[in-house]
Amino acid sequence: MPQVEHTLKITGMTCDCCSGRVQRVLESTDGVIQADISWQNHSATVVSTSDLSTEQIMAIVASTGFDVSA
């Protein structure tokens, strides 16, 4: 299955616990292959199967309580 890389801006994270929570939620999602989250850079790079759109991944991040944009 083809892979897609999504680059997101996430605001509101202030520590490793915040970024770890987002990473755990993303990596437990079917179709997410890898998630690299940086609270220092307020960013995320997510590799997924082509089944997941950027909007779907953004909704997952938003469900953790942080603001997200592409």
Tokens of 16: 């490793």
Strand, helix or coil for residue 4: strand
CATH class of 3-69: alpha beta
Residue type, 35: A
pTM of the model: 0.92
* Per-domain boundaries in the chain: 3-69
Q: How far is CA 20 from the centre of its chain?
A: 10
pLDDT digits (tens, 9 = 90+) for 6-43: 999 999 999 999 999 999 999 999 999 999 999 999 99
pLDDT at residue number 16: 96
Q: What is the dihedral of CA 7, 14, 24, 36, to 10 degrees?
A: 30
Q: Where are the alpha helices (DSSP H) in the chain?
A: 16-27, 54-62
